[in-house]
Structure 1
Amino acid sequence: MACASGDKCVPLSWKCDGVADCPDVSDELNCPAQTCAQSEFACGTNGTCIPTKWRCDKELDCEHGEDEKNCEALQSVCTPKQLYCAADKECIDNDWKCDEVDDCSDGSDESNCTVIDRHCGEAMFTCVNGQCISKEWHCDGDADCLDGSDEKECDAKSCGAEQIKCTDGSRCIDHSWRCDGDFDCSDYSDENNCTGSD
């Protein structure tokens, strides 16, 4: 297409693409209004659509930088009980902060966390060092916490029908592990007094 000024021609596909290619901007005049999808952000009056995740990412994606304006106002839409994920442009529950799961795609909900900040969900056990592990791992005979706190102050366990209890009561092991040549009990009792018939 020829620019209105007549001094330049541009490909027809450049007309109404949101970028002024003609010196007189005639390739962007009299364009039909463009509607952006729900997952897109409309750049100013030219109607260019960009992915919503590009909004407030500290990079100018719209011609006039509209995608980086009023970002503080966007963050203020979160309630006091929520945390703003800048990369995702959304709010998450404050309880998800410092739970050792990246709920924000940029990991911002897990950054600058101290042991005191750590908290685990209902299905999790909180180690003394703040680490979160499955509640099922608490007092199972294996130290899953880096500090071993999941195996401290454990009551003697009752074992299933196919299990035997270690002499120290620390864990139950499968009956087939008795006298198999591997120490499965922390007190090695599963390999004590073994004979060829065990």
Structure 2
Amino acid sequence: MTVQLIDITPNAMEKLAKIASVCYQSKPSEKVVKKILDLGHWSVFEHCYATFKIDMSVAVLLQITRHRHLSFTVQSSRVTELKDWREPEDMRVTIDIEHIMDEYWERFQSGRYSPEELMYMLPKAAIYQVYVTGNFRAWLEYLPKRMCGRAMKEHREIANAIKTILAEKYPEIFEDVKPRCQYCHDTSCLFGKETKKG
């Protein structure tokens, strides 16, 4: 699993302070940005963006594309050979996937089949290279859902990696982003149990 920051709005706090000042006809201030963040008035955050290059399985690709405010460019399996796959924790499943991928690679290299034909045999574990761009509001909405303990493990790892990068760049905006356990009623979740103790 690889998550790489490709591009991000430079001087985002300065830009957001200037834009937010229009709402209140006030002097640009990072305090105002923090206030509207805390209040959930996130439309201002749509003016800044971040783009990531992510290696992810088809299983995660099917989930992440449900977040419609993110934009995606995906490696084509119709014209390229997929080189890698996500290894599940269950060894029996791993052996099955390895067998399928070996068969896929063998047929791809033989030249007797088109990539378009072969893509139908790829398992959901096959890894694609994906570029994902989202404005800051889209990331603020995406991260708590996919950092949640109930999220698929691979997707949770990706979301946590994205959060770490965004929090390093703009801690004022992303440092406190976490799953919203206080609103969740699923007590089977480890995070949920921790929250409900307090």
Work out whether the TM-score is over 0.5.
no
The structure carrying a bigger helix percent of its residues is 2
TM-score when normalising by structure 1: 0.22
Structure number with greater Rg is: 1
